[in-house]
């Protein structure tokens, strides 16, 4: 007749424990991922960063648009900064409709940002927004046209 329960042999017990430990270790990473990405409640980011406005450069397309959505979903009002007004207005409409947040737009081109007058232009445009921005997702970037070598 089959006997169920802990193995009487010490070696078998040690191997069973080792197997259980290995199985737990193997499951740990995917289980932690499921918890973090699907089950864990969202942090209160507006409380954490002490404000309600977030600025997303390049927030009208691609990764920046996704940042705009995620931050708006977390309760932030959004300042979108990029070059094309129509693209910003479309995303602003989506954010207002989906998350009931305020959205402001800053039209600016980073292409010549090294020139002092462009830095001042950005400074002035951001001052005109006159909101206390507490999160910046600085997503607009540029790549070098030539190989790095």
Ligand X SMILES: NC(=O)c1ccc[n+]([C@@H]2O[C@H](COP(=O)([O-])OP(=O)(O)OC[C@H]3O[C@@H](n4cnc5c(N)ncnc54)[C@H](OP(=O)(O)O)[C@@H]3O)[C@@H](O)[C@H]2O)c1
| DSSP state letter for 146 | S
Q: Which of 16, 22, 84, 128 binds ligand X (CB under 6 A)?
A: 84
For 135, phi then psi, to 5°, come to -130, 135
> How many binding residues for ligand X (CB under 6 A)?
18
| Residue 143 touching ligand X (CB under 6 A) | yes
- Per-position b or e across 29-60, b if 16+ CB within 10 A of its CB: eeeeeeeeeeeeeeeebbeeeebbbbbbbbbb
Q: Which of 62, 98, 119, 128 binds ligand X (CB under 6 A)?
A: 62
Q: Which of 49, 75, 83, 125 binds ligand X (CB under 6 A)?
A: 83
**Which one of the spans 31-39, 46-54, 82-90, 120-128 is the region binding ligand X (CB under 6 A)?**
82-90
User: How many other C-beta atoms lie within 10 A of the C-beta of residue 84?
Assistant: 12
Closer to ligand X by CB, 83 or 125: give it.
83
| Residue 82 touching ligand X (CB under 6 A) | yes
State the number of CA atoms in the 13 A half-sphere of 93 facing the CB.
6
**Which one of the spans 28-36, 39-47, 70-78, 136-144 is the region binding ligand X (CB under 6 A)?**
136-144
Residue 109: CB partners within 8 Å, gap ≥ 6? 83
Q: Which residues contact ligand X (rule: CB under 6 A)?
A: 58, 60-64, 82-84, 87, 108-111, 139-141, 143
């Amino acid at each position: 007749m089959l006997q169920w329960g802990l193995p009487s042999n010490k070696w078998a017990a040690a191997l069973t424990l080792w197997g259980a430990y290995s199985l737990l270790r193997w499951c740990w990473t995917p289980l932690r991922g499921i918890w973090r990405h699907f089950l864990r409640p969202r942090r209160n980011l507006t409380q954490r960063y002490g404000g309600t406005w977030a600025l997303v450069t390049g927030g009208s397309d691609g990764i920046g648009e996704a940042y705009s959505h995620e931050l708006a979903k977390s309760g932030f009002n959004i300042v979108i900064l990029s070059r094309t007004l129509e693209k910003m207005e479309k995303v602003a409409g989506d954010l207002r409709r989906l998350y009931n947040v305020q959205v402001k737009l800053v039209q600016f081109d980073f292409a010549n940002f090294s020139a002092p007058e462009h830095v001042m232009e950005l400074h002035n445009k951001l001052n005109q927004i006159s909101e206390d921005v507490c999160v910046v997702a600085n997503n607009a970037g540029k790549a070098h046209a030539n190989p790095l070598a």
